[in-house]
Amino acid sequence: MAFPERRLRRLRRTPALRRLVAETRLGVDDLVAPLFVREGISEPQPIASLPGVVQHTRESLRKEVAELADLGVPGVILFGVPATKDEEGSGAWAPDAIVQLALADLRAEVGDALVLIADLCVDEYTTHGHCGVLTEAGEVDNDATLQIYARAALAQAEAGADIVAPSGMMDGQVAAIRAALDGAQRESTAILAYAAKYASALYGPFRDAVDVQIAGGGDRRGYQQDPANARESLAEVRADIAEGADLVMVKPALAYLDVIAATRAEVDVPVAAYHVSGEYSMIKAAAERGWIDGPAVALEHLTAVKRAGADIILTYFAKELAPVIGR
Ligand code: PBG
């Protein structure tokens, strides 16, 4: 009788055996919940393309964050939706802007029990929807934008953010923000750099969540990375760490597992991955039709992201999965 050299199935026989030999363990400690807070509304607003996610009022946000803290989720990342937008995105840096008010609320609500991360960009706050201010020719002006990012970082740190997370993909953004924070005695505010961020079609539902339309049907290919390229991710990651990033992020997650793995192999700082809005919505939509088992697919996705090397996963599934996966 032919006898296989190694019986690989032996260790798959029972749930306990599988648990014992699992290489990758997804836990609630790995998760960060993205949250939206909108100015000028009295009730939370559902987001059609992100089922189960809402634009919060300041009050409902406080409640949500207290619940997340109770579930053991260690961090949230906050995005603001202003009542009015302008050319330079003053809603990103004004001390009384919605995101700053909300950060202060949350600091008061949860103290240090939960890490408060502030997304640092201007696209939610600009009339044209780009991640920076524009030149007269309509191009995103890298260096003028850095000055605005520096102001936003200070406002967010002042309001209570533990970590600021620049997501605009301007060159030199981490250095500019680090210098501004240090210059204002904010040495303890950390920077999570969206280091390898791709010009992805998977951000569609997010743009509904923050009411962003890019002027003239434009896109972000002039500053976010081309999905065809992996090697420049490492250049981005190295540059951000050299400029002072405390953590680095790859975004989106599932279509860029190779980039997550390469980043993990390259650096010693914590690596985050953003399982983005489109990744969430695809699972929700297919599950709604009964075509897939939504929570099972979500777990499989997030496990794969962790297996690829991410230490931290930003995911709209955080609240739903926290009770399922445990510590
Ligand atoms: C920029 C930003 C975006 C996302 C996070 N930060 C949108 C973009 O770059 O166009 C997308 C997140 C998601 O799709 O869930 N402020």
Q: What is the model's pTM? A: 0.96
CA distance readout (Å), 297 to 126, 186, 206, 282, 285: 36, 41, 20, 10, 12
Angle (deg, nearest 10), helices 142-159 and 98-110: 30
Task: Please tell me the distance between residue 164's alpha carbon and the centre of ligand 1 in angstroms.
Answer: 14
Which residues in the chain land under pLDDT 70? 1-2
Q: Pocket residues for ligand 1 (CB within 6 Å)?
A: 119, 121, 123, 167, 203, 206, 220, 276-277
* pLDDT for 74: 98
Q: Which two tokens stand for residue 68?
A: 């997340």
Tens-digit pLDDT profile for residues 144-166: 999 999 999 999 999 999 999 99
Q: Does 284 participate in catalysis according to the annotation?
A: no
Task: Please tell me the distance between residue 247's alpha carbon and the centre of ligand 1 in angstroms.
Answer: 18
Q: Where are the alpha helices (DSSP H) in 14-141?
A: 15-21, 58-71, 98-110
Tens-digit pLDDT profile for residues 26-45: 999 999 999 999 999 999 99
**Which residue's alpha carbon is at the smallest distance from atom 11 of ligand 1?**
203
* pLDDT for 4: 72
**CB contact at 8 A, 20 and 38:** no
**Which residue's alpha carbon is at the smallest distance from atom 6 of ligand 1?**
167
User: What residues does 314 pair with on adjacent strands?
Assistant: 32, 274
Structural domains for the chain: 25-214+222-325 (3.20.20.70)
